[in-house]
Structure 1
Amino acid sequence: MVRIRGTIGQWPVDLTLELDESDWARLGAQLQVTVPAESGATVAARPVSQDDALWQTARDLVRQAGQIDGPQLLGQLEALAGSTAAAKRLLVRLRHCSEVKVLSGTDSPLYSWVEA
């Protein structure tokens, strides 16, 4: 848990963030710091590229939803990636991901999370 206190202009800020292990790992990678390994040794975290971060977020969207239809997923990916073209590239990548199964829905494809 991280607690942030301070001010923004004249307004006081008191914010508490709860992060799980994967969140800490991603944060450490973004900051290029070392993170403790489970064995107690310390390993250097590899910086995460923007493409890697988008890919992880796209996978997380499907995983958290369990199942999501194509148009809804495309809309969420467009908001994350900033363009329709980038979102469509992520959809294609998801179609070939072993953790995602794409089924033909009535009107659109359904993306489902399956453990690989």
Structure 2
Amino acid sequence: MKRSVWMLALALSGCASVSDINQTPPTMSFISGKKPHEYAKCVADRLADSRGSLQMEPHKNGVRVIVPGKLSSMPAAVFDIEERSSGSGVKLHESLSNVPVRPGDVQEAANACISG
């Protein structure tokens, strides 16, 4: 049963774009002691084995990190990282945010990279 729910979720999320993902409520929102580029590099390093190459682009006062899906190159998650006086404000949006059996590697990387 879990496998079929997972496959259905992957099939439905295959067409998500960055703007679609950003319209969902953030699954995580927090402040990090790291500057935006430091935090983005940490996330990219942590997800390199499970997600491959992440896309980074300038966004507002920081950087946006676009995480590809495990089975496709379509976006699965978006980190919006904005500079603050004492580090970064981070919002994580995930395409499968309402599916309880989604991969946990993105949130694990987000948590692991919070502290300086």
Query: When the two structures are superposed, what TM-score results if normalisation uses the length of structure 1?
Result: 0.26
Greater share of residues in helix? 1
Greater CA radius of gyration, 1 or 2? 1
Structure of greater relative contact order (alpha carbons < 8 Å, 6+ residues apart):
2
Query: When the two structures are superposed, what TM-score results if normalisation uses the length of structure 2?
Result: 0.26
